[in-house]
Amino acid sequence: MWRTDWGKDFIERISQNKPFWRRVGDVWVVTVFIIMILMFSLLLWQATLAWQIPKTSAVSPKMMIGLPGLNPVIPLWYGILALVIAMVVHEFSHGILSRVADVKVKALGLLLFFFPVGAFVEPDEEGMKSMKKWERMRLYAAGPGSNMVVAVVFSFLFSSVMVASLEPAEDGLLLYSVSADYGGAEAGLEPWMLLTAIDEEEVRNTDDWKRVMNDTYAGQNVNVSILNRGVPEIYSVTLSDKGSYYLKYYPDYYESWMSGKGFMGVAAENPKIITDSLANPTENILLYISLPFAKLQPFPEHFTSIYEPAGAIGILPDNIFWILANSFYWIFWLNLMVGLTNALPAVPLDGGFIFADGVTGILDKFKKGMSEQRKEKIVDNLVGILAFTVVFLVVWQLVGPRLVGTDPVILDANINAADTQGWNGDVFEFDASMSNGNFVTYEWDFGDNNTATGEKVSHSWTEGGLYFVVLTAKDSEDRQSVAFEQVSINHFTEGDGSVGGGSDDTVPTTVNPYVKTVSIYINVTGDNGLPIVQSDVTVTINSPSGAVFEQDFSLNNGETQAVSFSTSEGEMVGEWEIFLESNDPASDFTYDYDWYTYYQSNS
């Protein structure tokens, strides 16, 4: 502990305008009473959540200590700076209101533990006892009230001056989330990278992002251009399946069209949204206060490499700008925490003394015949009970979830399928009886706009592809577990036809994502009825990227030519067709075909 007379002259000078400070003190008393009610209500509400918090998610005691070096979210040097300012403002305000009430300030001091961890102003005790209750309430409210004023001022400086001046250094989308086990993460993409292009197509906004990704399919390889802490990099990403992601993490939002669509496993947004949100803290105050828990304060390198200051504030050197921005935030944050904490109605906090004087004033007004001893006993009992309650509610946040928190409810839907690979038209059986949990309903989605209910179901697909069979099992409280099974349906179709001289015919089909091989077998037979004249025929097979097979034949009447084509390469997903053309009026012919499309067994 370090006691000193330093600062007493400053307090004496600044407290000369007593009418001003009395009005300010009145505002602070009202403000602290409002904060006191809100904070106590918040503690009560948080206490009720203990029964809903998993036992493994209880708050660590370190998170309740507002000291840099002990609390893991408070940086040491910014924390020391902000804590010193908060303590000086808090205690000097007590001193100023003491002098406004003509109470002598005996000394000022600091509590030291390697660095200042506390501060105090020591008013004359006899003078404190003789003060009018409202004046004493002003004195106590001055500490948390002034901390709140400083918090508001530095919040303005941080948001409206520093953050509002930030602009993205480059065009692109900010990756703010990367899901493990999907293409983006496997390629090395990380949060806070700036995505600028996909396969050399510029991605400047979310519309570009949606347009480019909607044209991709699962299994496709794309080159993703990235700025990583300002350094250009290119990542080769094999796209995952959008449907499987939603089935696993957001089953309520899954739609069958998602299956087969390309999915990078990243969430991207315009980087300006982040700074706009921080520049307007009232739009999301919880996000604003929780920046340290999101590891966004102090601003990390991956943040500072994306943004640069613009306008008048941009004349500052970058390192000075970021130091000031971080300092302003931590001065705001710790003053807010000190102010809110000291407003709690628990002695020895300022709020406890304000509450005691407030109750005494109410008794003086409405119980004028009550003895002073009786009033003092009532006040002491109320203050003691309230202080105990506040301490209990704070401690309850630590121990409550560990004692009464939720145990995990086991809900594990499970699909047992005898076969997961076959052909269109085959019947597949699915059984959910091995699911673990007290389920009462079973809902099935087969990925082809068909659904079913029941513990055991069957289904047949008419089109080939890789399908995701989704089981949603629910218990009596409507809690659910989702499971999915991939089913590979190879597609077979056959047909025949005839083409008159000078005409043509087309056999179209659609090849879905996850295709492995396309095999086509065609028999073409001359059929012009003329023994000497041949039928001139052209057979063309078109894939989504254009013609992949073309051959001309000259066939005698009744002569058959067999054509076979098979591929596992190139652009295979999309519209295919067999184009059969008679090249002159005397080239009639007939044909038949077998078309096999084989699909991957899983995504």
Q: Which of 92, 103, 96, 100 is nearest to 126 (CA)?
A: 103
Angle, to 10 degrees, between the axis of helix 318-342 and the axis of helix 133-156?
150
Dihedral sign for Cα atoms in the order 169, 172, 174, 178:
negative
Return phi, psi of residue 105, to 5°: -95, 115
* Contact (CB, 8 A) for 203 and 212: yes
pLDDT digits (tens, 9 = 90+) for 561-599: 999 999 998 888 889 999 999 999 989 999 999 999 999
CB 161 within 8 A of CB 154: no
Burial of 441 (0-12, 13-18, 19+ CB in 10 A): middle
Cβ–Cβ under 8 Å, residues 512 and 575: no
Burial degree of 422 (CB within 10 A; 0-12, 13-18, 19+)? middle
Domains, the chain, ordered by start: 2-148+325-404 (no CATH), 173-270 (2.30.42.10), 416-489 (2.60.40.10), 500-599 (2.60.120.260)
How many CA within 13 A on the CB side of residue 344? Answer: 25
Q: By C-alpha distance, which of 497, 537, 491 is closest to 513? A: 491
Q: Collapsing DSSP states into helix, strand and coil, what is residue 52?
A: coil
pLDDT band at 143 (very low <50, low <70, confident <90, very high): very high
CB-CB contact of 259 with 484 (8 Å): no
Give the pLDDT band (50/70/90) at residue 496: very high
Q: What is the pLDDT of residue 43?
A: 94
The yes-or-no verdict on residue 323 having pLDDT over 60 is yes
Nearest to 600 by CA among 499, 465, 402, 473: 465
Helix (H, G, I), strand (E, B) or coil at 310: coil
| Whole-number CA gyration radius for the chain | 37
SS3 assignment, position 23: helix
Q: Which of 288-292, 478-482, 493-497, 544-548 shows the lowest per-residue confidence on average (mean pLDDT)?
A: 478-482
Sequence-distant (6+) residues with CB within 8 A of 98 are 11, 104, 105, 121, 123, 127, 139
Neighbours of 9 (CB within 10 A): 9
pLDDT band at 376 (very low <50, low <70, confident <90, very high): confident
pLDDT class of 314 with cuts at 50, 70, 90: confident
Q: Residue 448: pLDDT band by 50, 70, 90 thresholds?
A: confident
Helix (H) / strand (E) element for 540: namely strand 535-543
**pLDDT for residue 346:** 92
Peptide bond into 298 cis (omega under 30): yes
Give first-to-last CA distance, the chain, whole Å.
67
User: Which pLDDT band holds residue 119 (cuts at 50, 70, 90)?
Assistant: low
Spacing of C-alpha 87 from chain mean position: 35
Determine which helix (DSSP H) or strand (DSSP E) holds 324, and give its type and residue range: helix 318-342
Q: Distance between CA atoms of 336 and 328, rounded to whole angstroms?
A: 12
Reduced to 3 states (helix: H, G, I; strand: E, B; else coil), residue 354 is helix
CB crowding 376-406: b at 16 or more within 10 Å, else e? eeebeeebeebbebbeebbebbeebbeeebe
pLDDT, tens only, 11-60: 888 888 999 999 999 999 999 999 999 999 999 999 998 888 888 878 88
In degrees to the nearest 10, what's the CA dihedral of 513, 515, 521, 526?
Answer: 20
Burial class (CB in 10 A: 0-12, 13-18, 19+), 114: exposed
The whole-angstrom separation of Cα 122 and Cα 486 is 74
What does pLDDT average to over the chain?
89
Distance, in Å, from the CA atom of 268 to the CA atom of 177, rounded to the nearest integer, reads 7
Query: What are the Cα distances from residue 559, in Å, to 356, 502, 527, 582, 584?
Result: 110, 19, 8, 15, 17
Coil, strand, or helix at residue 238? strand
Strands 480-499 and 421-423: parallel
Range list of H helices, 49-131 = 76-100, 125-130
Quote the pLDDT of residue 111.
60
Q: What percent of the chain has pLDDT over 70?
A: 96
- Return d(Cα 108, Cα 3) in angstroms, integer: 6
pLDDT at 447: 83
For position 112, what pLDDT does the model report? Answer: 55
Q: Tokens standing for 189? A: 């993409």
Peptide bond into 348 cis (omega under 30): yes
Apex 205 CA angle, 202 and 208, nearest 5: 55
Nearest to 97 by CA among 59, 145, 50: 145
pTM attached to this predicted model: 0.73
For the stretch 286-299, pLDDT in tens is: 889 999 988 888 99
Task: Quickly state the pLDDT bin for 603 (edges 50, 70, 90).
Answer: low
With vertex at residue 483, the alpha carbon angle to CA 480 and CA 487, rounded to the nearest 5 degrees, is 150
Count of beta carbons in the 10 Å neighbourhood of residue 340: 19
